Chain A
Amino acid sequence: MKNSRKVLSLILAALMLVSTFAFASCGKTDDGKAGGAYNIPIVCGETGMNDVCGVATYGVNYYNLGVAAGDMAADILLNGADVSAMPVQLDPAPALSVNTKVAGEIGFTIPEAVSSNASTGDTTIAVTPVAEAIVAEGGDFTVGILQLVQHVALDQSNKGFQDQLSVRMSEAGKTVTILDQNAAGDQSNCVTISESFVGQDVDLIYTIATSAAQSAAAATEESGTPVLFCAVTDPVSAGLVESMEVPGGNVSGVSDINPVADQIDLIAELLGKDDIKIGLLYTSSETNSVFQIGLAKAECDAKGYTYVDKGIGDINDIESAFIALAAEGVDAIYIPTDNVLANGAANVHSINIGG
């Protein structure tokens, strides 16, 4: 016991020493920014994050993605469309939005050329849901919804899907029973829920997020129940579809890939120059983020921008990664669509403004 205490206190002392050095070295590269305000313009992969910490971005609207998936579902159920031949859909028109509040706080002027292009108002597709088309039991069709975890964007995709499906059903004079399940972030539940849907003989399974889609795809191997996915960034490498154009199996859906290349180009437009250094901040364990960072690097290489990338392991790493990027002297930071960083968006902003 005494020994272990000694070891622990030694480790603690070592950690303190290391962190003191780390802070000291950060202080040096900050050029006297004692308050820690970095004021680096940030471009995010999605509008939700942009509202908190970004200056401008092209946004994917998760409600719209859900609506697109709802249309696909209606085509399958009502018109007997073949899933294997339904191309994976993308957000039809990502809208440019600027955040003057954050820009003001970090003292960044958004160029007239960008702000005049920004769409005004909401880009959400207006859908008036028909409540009567969704019945608790005994509808003409049964649709199972499997959502990986409670999350604002994913909830939007769920709502958009149900709203649009109800509209299409009422137009056709049909009703649908929806079994809405959430795995609460536990992947073992995804499997159980998928098996349960197959056992209940549902007509279609709508899955939200990658591992939910993979579970449903595995569970429907024999039954061939159509599976639609949403909020999957790279369905090909997730093994869900053979290609974006021709899925080839019983799985298709809507990808939530954001226009990464456009967003990188937006940084150059915002800064008003081509000789720029971009910091890429992402969670290294999220396949989707890594995929987007790959696209971002490709775009940087194509346009001749220099870049530094910093991957984080979890939400506690945000500060050190941000400081490291600032120390590299980046002109702007790009954050892809990333669950961990979306949750830590407020943290990113407060580090940036030194608050």
Chain B
Amino acid sequence: MFGTITAGISQGFIWAVLALGVYISFRLLEFADLSCEGSVTLGASIAAMLIWKGLNPFLASIIAFCGGCIAGSVTGILTTKLKIPPILSGILTMISLYSINIHIMSIATGTSGTANLSLLTFSKNTIYGVLRTALGLEKTYVTLICGAVFAVVIIAVLYWFFGTELGSSIRATGSNEKMCRAQGINTDTTKILGLAISNGMIALAGSMLCQYQNFSDVNMGVGSIVIGLASIIIGETVFMKVKNFALRLLGIVVGSVIYRIVVAIVIYSGMPSTDLKLMTAVIVMVALSLPIIKNAFYASSKKRKMRSEAAEIDAEVTKNG
């Protein structure tokens, strides 16, 4: 059980990077960006291909981040310059990345149409492999430490960036685009920039994921947007009253870890594997409806309080009357 949960937590930290990326587009820009599913695989493919070519894994991850930024900018340009609706722009980037990812992985093997690139023989030359040799720890703990450090660093950088004038203008674009333009902000630029950062981080998550599971597969992005959104919503539910931006970002990391732990527990409990997807849906559903349940609970307890107060007054009136 302990091992399962630690593995869940270490995976949660990796998915947290993805969730933070989704948060930028989904919450800060109010942009439902579906290119996410392609960007995860893009990051994984780039990192896997470069590691195959013998590049330093840290450098490979940074290049994967840059690749994601390019993908994000494409979505941004499609929607701002070509005026294609947001959802469709995301889908267009996502489906084109499918082919591009296969091409990238094919560079490594030299055979066209490589849809699955294994890093099993390169496991010493992944970020986790390198750190493992350097620290002399087990893989789970290295992933745990590495994930936590990554999360903290990324939160710090995001907190700083979205506090700058440029970052604030990106946040403002999501809040009120017309007002933003009235203030002389070029919202096209801020949108493209926001999407680039968002997809860059998603690709970074993909590169970490592929180094963790030791392979990149063209279908590995399937369902990632759901995991990202679920993590955001669980995090927001847990950190409901928090106004501080850094703490809200931390909430997403916590949400992502909670999500993975719950999935790990569902799997560990040995329930029929056919029900896995249903269970996942139920978890997200519960997380989504928690605020409403909470409010309904508050409202009913308030009503009860008011009713009992009214009864007391009534009683007093009859006594005195």
Contact = CB atoms under 8 A, between A and B. Distances in A.
Interface stretch (B27-35, B118-126, B170-178, B184-192): B118-126
Interface string A214-232: 1101100110000000000
Contact of B273 (A181, A210, A284): A181
A191 interface: yes
Interface in A160-180: 179-180
Nearest to B79: A4
Given A4-B84, A198-B3, A313-B98, A238 B116 contact: yes
Given A7-B84, A181-B267, A189-B263, A218 B109 contact: no
A147 B276 CA distance: 13
Nearest to B221: A187
Contact of B114 (A196, A287, A313): A287
A184 B276 contact: yes
| Top-8 shortest CB links A-B | A239-B118, A199-B3, A195-B7, A182-B273, A239-B120, A218-B214, A290-B113, A199-B4
Interface in A206-262: 210-211, 214-215, 217-218, 221-222, 237-240
A150 B120 contact: no
Chain B interface helix/strand/loop/mixed: helix
B7 A192 contact: yes
A286 B99 contact: no
Contacts of B140: 195
Contacts of A221: 123, 139, 214
B138 A287 contact: no
Interface string A284-326: 1111001000100000000000000001010000000000000
A128 interface: no
B7, B8, B11, B274 — which one has the most chain A CB atoms within 10 A of its CB?
Answer: B7
Contact of A285 (B84, B98, B214): B98
Interface in A262-300: 284-287, 290, 294
A345 interface: no
A290 B227 CA distance: 31
Contacts of A218: 120, 123, 212-215
B187 to A, nearest CB: 15
Contacts of B224: 188
9 contacts: A147-B273, A181-B267, A186-B223, A191-B11, A195-B4, A195-B264, A214-B215, A239-B214, A285-B113
Nearest to B106: A290
Given A186-B276, A210-B116, 9 more contacts: A188-B224, A211-B116, A214-B217, A218-B120, A240-B120, A287-B113, A287-B114, A290-B112, A290-B115
B148 interface: no
A3 interface: yes
Interface of A: 3-4, 7-8, 147, 150, 179-193, 195-196, 198-200, 210-211, 214-215, 217-218, 221-222, 237-240, 284-287, 290, 294, 311, 313
B276 A285 contact: no
A201 to B, nearest CB: 8
B57 to A, nearest CB: 15
A7 B219 contact: no
Contacts, number: 142
B120 A187 contact: no
B118 to A, nearest CB: 3
Contacts of B8: 192, 195
Interface in B101-160: 102, 109, 111-116, 118-121, 123, 138-140
A186 B224 CA distance: 9
Given A184-B276, A187-B217, A290-B115, A222 B7 contact: no
A150 B114 CA distance: 24
B250 interface: no
A193 B271 CA distance: 12
Nearest to A239: B118
B123 A182 contact: no
B321 interface: no
Given A179-B270, A181-B267, A189-B263, A7 B215 contact: no
Contacts of A285: 98, 102, 113, 115, 218-219
Nearest to A147: B273
Contacts of B213: 187, 190-191, 214-215, 218
Nearest to B139: A222
A107 B114 CA distance: 37
Interface in B189-215: 209, 212-215
A188 B11 contact: yes
